[in-house]
Amino acid sequence: MSGLFSLGPRDLDRFTPMQIAHHPHLSRGEKLELLSDLKAAATGIAESDDFGFPPEEIDEAISDVTGVPILHKPDGGSYP
C-alpha cells in the first residue's frame, strides 16, 4: 500500500470494519484490500489472529465502500 502511511495486518485490530471503510486517508483500493484481508482472517481462509469481527460486519463495511448492497440468504446469512 502506498500513501502517507501504511496499514498492515497487525494494524487491523486498531480499527473496526466501518472505521476502515470510512477512513479519510485510505483510498478505495486500500480499504477494500484491508477489508478483504480482515474477512479472510475472520472466515479462517487466512491463518491469522482472530480480530473479533463477524464476517457480516465486514461485509457491511465492504458494501459501504463499494456501494453495492449486501444480498442476504433466506437463512439470514449473506452471499460472499
Report the pLDDT value the prediction gives residue 3, as an integer from 0 to 100.
45
Task: Dump pLDDT digits (tens) for 11-44.
Answer: 656 788 999 999 998 999 999 998 988 888 877 7
Distance of CA 62 to the CA centre of its chain: 6
Residue from 3, 2, 1, 31 nearest 17 by CA: 31
pTM of the model: 0.58
The answer for residues whose C-beta is within 8 angstroms of residue 39's C-beta and 6 or more apart is 45, 55, 58, 59, 62
Q: Which residue has the higher pLDDT, 5 or 1?
A: 5
